[in-house]
Amino acid sequence: MNRQELKTIIQTEKNRELNHTGKQKICVCCGAGCLSSGAEEVMKKLQEEIKARGLEQEVEVVPTGCMGPCNQGPLLKCLPGYNMYQKVDCSNIEKIVQSQLVDKKPLEDLLLFADLREKPSLDAREDPYFKKQLKIALKDCGTLNPERIEDYLAHDGYVALDKALFELSPEEVIAEVKHSRIRGRGGAGYPTGLKWESVYKYVNDQKYVICNGDEGDPGAFMDRSVLEGNPHRVLEGMCIAGYAIGASKGFAYIRGEYPLAIKRFEQAIKQARKLGLLGKNIMGTAFSFDIEVRIGAGAFVCGEETALIASIEGKRGTPKPRPPFPAESGLWGKPTLINNVETFAAIAPIIRNGGEWYSEIGTPKSAGTKVFALAGKINNAGLIEVPMGTTLREIVFEIGGGIQHNEEFKAAQTGGPSGGCIPAAHLDVKMDYESLVSLGSIMGSGGLIIMDKSSDMVDVARFFMEFCMDESCGKCVPCRVGTRMLHDLLQKICDNKATQIDLDRLEELAVYVKEASLCGLGGSAPNPLLSTLRHFREEYESRIVKHD
């Protein structure tokens, strides 16, 4: 299909949307969270109810991706008024249809956050939960049907690819990404533009693009939601990357634990191929690119790029020493670009609106927005996207609605098993790469677990060390043996059997493991331990057996 034919399709879809303006549209959140809370039955019942009342012509029911506040699911969003309903079940569908669609009056006591706020906002966008957020990567999640490419096309889908292919040279695309100052969203925060440039510079007849969707950090689920809620956005980002670096083949490595994400991404690939947005001569140009899905088999270490490459090659996922970096010698020895799902999701808006626009959001060193998965002892657990530099206090108390049962905030754990805990004293920390590192934590993939006083910090450190011990691939000694020794020492402290000598040894060993391990898993495994030691030392010391 060439460019002209595609434009016709987009126009038809846009017209269809326009014809719908003024009409009601009910979006049913079909993200993994809401599906587990029963969104499927809700949607079926809703369709039946609308049919029974003969409103099919006036109302459109759309299954969408994640809307954010997973804890309150299943969720409904009624457009154009943005009236959102929470904890919808089959028994109150009838009431909602009656007042929302027939009487045209939102039903106040079922509105989103009706149980938390004195007066819930009719327009959900006015609620502090959404007001503080800025959605770029998640923008169309929760509005469009992820299973229809036409929906994506109507929401400026593939416009960025069109712009890149017809108006920009590969160098200009890379310059635009560099200008946006976006940094890798997988955790390490390496500038994406520089990465693209280095792969571009290696001359080879075959290069690869890999999308890292092996979201292993416990407590992070943003990649899952993006892949489930807007797979075409990631696909478009990968295509643009392929064009920029000169690759003709891409792989999306998605965790086996996410069957819905795999299904939707595979479906998106099929649809894109059908419209000529993937495959040979995309939009009639000389550029050819295709994507294959590879399913992860449940190894945390495969989030590390060299281990992920080994896994795509069908081997044990053990990391390799770098250099050579994948940019030089990656998949099957060819130059390979690896980016995270969230990074690819931000590419299309950057190309569409220009790098300048993106670089103005956030802080000077960390541009743009970051998706956080808010979970633990917090009222509004779910998925949020905020500009970099938003303080932890704003996230926890304004967006997150505070700690459950009005308990006191004790710590926030960021970055999963590679990150650390931020104590209450640092609630005003700006969430960006540098500030978090200065507190001994990392941004990581964006998991944010909130803890109250019921969480024992030594036990939390032990929990993460157990995780790293189990997930160590066993290749290098500092990690394989070190994590086990650290775990045993922590267990000893938890059992109130440790002495001061053990604590000293723990600290000493943690540094060795951190410095001597081959890859990021071992290199960051002691982080939770070191950061809890730094901020909650008294909890460790109170358990030490004293000699007299």
Partner 1 sequence: MVTNRTGHYELPATYKNDCLSYSFLFNYKNPGELFMKSDTAVPAKELPKTDPRVKLIAAKLKKENYQPDALIEILHTAQNAYGYLPKDVLAYITRALHLPPSRVYSTVTFYHFFSLKSKGEHTCLVCTGTACYVKGAQQILQAIEKETGIAPGKVSADNKLGVQVARCIGACGLAPAVVIDEEVQAKASPEEIIQKLNAKIGKI
Residues of this chain that interact with partner 1 (CB under 8 A) are 32-33, 35-37, 69-71, 73, 215-221, 224, 255-258, 294-300, 311-317, 373-377, 381-383, 413, 416, 447, 449, 451, 455, 463-464, 467, 469-474, 480, 484
Q: Where are the beta strands (DSSP E) in 368-481?
A: 369-376, 382-387, 409-414, 420-423, 447-452
**What token pair was written down for 83?**
């009236």
Q: Select 71 or 524, whichever has its Cβ closest to partner 1.
A: 71
Are the beta carbons of 491 and 473 closer than 8 angstroms?
no
CB of 177 to partner 1, least distance (A): 28
Residues near 94 by beta carbon (within 8 Å), at least 6 away in sequence: 49
CA atoms within a 13 Å half-sphere pointing along the CA-CB vector of 397: 12
**What token pair was written down for 112?**
């989103």
Q: Select 79 or 481, whichever has its Cβ closest to partner 1.
A: 481
Distances (CA, A) of 174 to 62, 147, 170, 179, 198: 36, 30, 6, 8, 10
Q: Select 265 or 300, whichever has its Cβ closest to partner 1.
A: 300
CB of 508 to partner 1, least distance (A): 22
Calpha distance 390→436 (Å, rounded): 12
CB of 440 to partner 1, least distance (A): 17
DSSP-assigned letter for residue 279: B
Calpha distance 27→64 (Å, rounded): 6
Distances (CA, A) of 133 to 11, 371, 372, 386: 31, 10, 11, 5
CB of 261 to partner 1, least distance (A): 9
CB of 59 to partner 1, least distance (A): 28
DSSP-assigned letter for residue 352: H
Q: Select 223 or 236, whichever has its Cβ closest to partner 1.
A: 223
CB of 37 to partner 1, least distance (A): 5
DSSP-assigned letter for residue 292: E
Q: Select 52 or 297, whichever has its Cβ closest to partner 1.
A: 297
CB of 162 to partner 1, least distance (A): 32
Distances (CA, A) of 313 to 152, 211, 310, 316, 333: 32, 15, 5, 9, 11
| Residue 460 burial by Cβ neighbours in a 10 Å radius (0-12, 13-18, 19+) | buried
Q: Select 275 or 422, whichever has its Cβ closest to partner 1.
A: 422
Q: Select 69 or 523, whichever has its Cβ closest to partner 1.
A: 69
CB of 482 to partner 1, least distance (A): 11
Q: Select 6 or 450, whichever has its Cβ closest to partner 1.
A: 450
